[in-house]
């Protein structure tokens, strides 16, 4: 199943991510796809707020991964720089850790991703409108999407 959400503002997108934060559990992996400026990092900011992260979340493009303390830790990855690279920065440690992992540009590390995960695609419709599609892989994420849709 696919679950489509439409947002009209940055705040809408953060609110959706905030709701998601209440449903995820330690060890969950979320992927974010979408062009530059689609809203991947914005979504992650909303998710982090919902997880109780108080520090400002910024794009980890140059560091690849940033860790934040919240009620559940947040591991925020942007693997854009790993396109055409086989480099494994120790992904399993994160994916199997006690935090929520969010991966921007996840298709660049497809071979390392766990089978069970929530894939999220963000499409920029115009300056403010976005189509956000959730593609759950596995029952746990299927359940989460159904809850979000209610």
> Which residues form the interface with Mg ion (CB under 5 A)?
40-41, 59
User: How near is the Cβ of 31 to ligand ADP at its closest, in Å?
Assistant: 12
Assess contact for 29 and 113: CB atoms under 8 A: yes
Assess contact for 10 and 42: CB atoms under 8 A: yes
Q: Which two tokens stand for residue 44?
A: 């992650």
User: How near is the Cβ of 14 to ligand ADP at its closest, in Å?
Assistant: 8
Q: Give the residue with the Cβ less far from ligand ADP, 37 or 138.
A: 37
Q: Which residues pair with 74 in a beta bridge?
A: 68, 100
Binding partner selected for residue 39 from Mg ion, ligand ADP, none, CB under the kind-specific 5 to 8 Å limit: ligand ADP
Q: Give the residue with the Cβ less far from Mg ion, 18 or 44.
A: 44
Q: Is 48 helix (H, G, I), strand (E, B) or coil?
A: helix
Q: What DSSP state is assigned to residue 27?
A: T
Q: Which residues bind ligand ADP (CB under 6 A)?
A: 7, 9-10, 12-13, 34, 36-42, 104, 128, 130
Assess contact for 76 and 60: CB atoms under 8 A: yes
Q: Give the residue with the Cβ less far from ligand ADP, 88 or 108.
A: 108
Q: Which residue is nearest to ligand ADP (CB)?
A: 39
Compute the distance between CA of residue 77 and CA of residue 79 in angstroms, rounded to an integer: 6
Q: Give the residue with the Cβ less far from ligand ADP, 96 or 107.
A: 107
């Amino acid at each position: 199943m696919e679950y489509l959400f439409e947002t009209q503002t940055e705040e809408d997108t953060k609110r959706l991510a905030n709701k998601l934060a209440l449903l995820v559990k330690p060890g969950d992996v979320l992927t974010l796809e979408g062009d530059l400026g689609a809203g991947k990092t914005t979504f992650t900011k909303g998710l982090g707020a919902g997880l109780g992260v108080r520090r400002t979340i910024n794009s980890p493009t140059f560091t690849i991964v940033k860790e934040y303390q919240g009620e559940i830790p947040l591991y925020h990855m942007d693997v854009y720089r790993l396109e055409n690279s086989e480099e494994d920065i120790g992904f399993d440690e994160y994916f199997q850790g006690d935090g929520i992992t969010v991966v921007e540009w996840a298709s660049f590390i497809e071979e390392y991703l766990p089978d069970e995960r929530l894939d999220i695609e963000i499409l920029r419709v115009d300056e403010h409108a976005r189509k956000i599609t959730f593609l759950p892989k596995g029952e746990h994420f299927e359940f989460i999407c159904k809850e979000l849709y209610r």
